[in-house]
Amino acid sequence: MRRLAACVFALSLMLAALGSRPVTATPLTEEQQTAVARRVEIYLRYLFAWGPETGVKVTSMHESAIPGLYSAIVEVNQGERRGQEVVLVSADGRYLVRGDFHDTTEDPFAEVRQTVVLAGHPSKGPADAPVIIVEYGDFQCATCAELYPTMKKLLAERKDVRLVYKDLPLTRIHDWALAAAVAGQCAFRQSPDAFWRLHDFLFENQKQITKDNLDVRLDALAPLLELRLEEFRTCRTQEATRATVEESLREATELGLRNTPSLFINARPLAGAQSYDAILHLIEYELYLQKQGSAPR
């Protein structure tokens, strides 16, 4: 709802700067207005995971001060919370301007699906789960450690979710994050289960780990994880292992990620140590969407 207020303010300034005299060539017929309003509603519902419990109404469509675009008000009602957003839309309903430029004929999350590589990375949960959560994390990140119990609870309670973990060590501010990410890859190569046990150990003991004691602690942990110690040590020094982590880093950069944790829930972005309920809402929305047959187009 805060986004709605911010966009109203920003767009109001933009319209004021351009002047109030309408310059759009042809007014929309009532039938065209209804079709465009419906298209905008469907798209925004999908973009923000607004299910049937959220009221969305597109009203007051009229010529704007920007050539080729019409102004409309989007009214959103979520229980006691209400908000309005001024948007600009093209005459055919294809393009929507609300701070970002959207093509309503395209899936806003398609690029993420094309960019994120799932194969060959640690995952937990059913392989055929209808909801896939991709987490870009940093073992030294305190916010990631805050998210960790939430994700652990979620995976224990839900059998329709799979978590894929990808490395995003923030090396400019974390001095042992890269080494920990490499160690995680080495554990994963020997045993996927060992990776997750190491993953849990690093987050649960994050405050006691330093750059100076990381290797000692990893060596001591190896037998408990049923890892072959010498192989584990050698792997942690190999450039090929580091290259795997760096590939994940490049992917995160391509996605525009700058902070950890960063989640994608069926390609839908969600940043930070979100609450259980916030994550669950998007899971339930994705399941609801799948019951409808497909994402709107």
User: Residue holding tokens 């973990």?
Assistant: 165
Phi then psi for residue 103, to 5 deg, are -105, 110
Cβ(64)–Cβ(70) below 8 Å: yes
Q: What average pLDDT does the structure give for the chain?
A: 90
Q: Where are the domains of the chain?
A: 2-105, 113-291
Cβ neighbours, 10 Å, residue 59 = 11
Q: Which of 56-70, 100-114, 269-283 has the highest mean pLDDT?
A: 269-283
Q: What is the pLDDT of residue 17?
A: 39
- Find, among 186, 198, 49, the residue nearest to 124 by Cα: 198
How many whole angstroms separate alpha carbon 230 and alpha carbon 131?
A: 38
Q: What is the pLDDT of residue 67?
A: 83
Max CA distance (Å), the chain: 75
Centroid of chain to Cα 18: 34
Q: What is the pLDDT of residue 296?
A: 60
pLDDT digits (tens, 9 = 90+) for 27-47: 889 999 999 999 999 999 999
Tally of residues, the chain: 297
For the cut 70, the answer to whether the pLDDT of residue 227 exceeds it is yes
Q: What is the pLDDT of residue 28?
A: 86
How many whole angstroms separate alpha carbon 144 and alpha carbon 169?
A: 11
Query: pTM of the prediction?
Result: 0.82
Q: What is the pLDDT of residue 19?
A: 42
Q: What is the pLDDT of residue 66?
A: 82
Cβ(124)–Cβ(152) below 8 Å: no
How many whole angstroms separate alpha carbon 268 and alpha carbon 112?
A: 8
Q: Where in the chain does DSSP place strands (E)?
A: 55-63, 69-78, 81-90, 95-97, 101-103, 123-124, 131-137, 161-167, 262-265, 268-271
Q: Rounded mean pLDDT of 153-161?
A: 96
Per-residue CA distances from 1 to 7, 57, 72, 86, 283 (Å): 10, 15, 17, 13, 20
Buried b (16+ CB within 10 A) or exposed e, 185-210: bbbbbbeeebbbbbbebbbeebeebe
Cβ neighbours, 10 Å, residue 53 = 8
- Find, among 134, 129, 137, the residue nearest to 112 by Cα: 134
Angle at 78 between CA 161 and CA 296, to 5 degrees: 55
For the cut 90, the answer to whether the pLDDT of residue 205 exceeds it is yes
CATH 3.40.30.10 fits 113-291, yes or no: yes
Q: What is the pLDDT of residue 9?
A: 43
For the cut 90, the answer to whether the pLDDT of residue 104 exceeds it is no
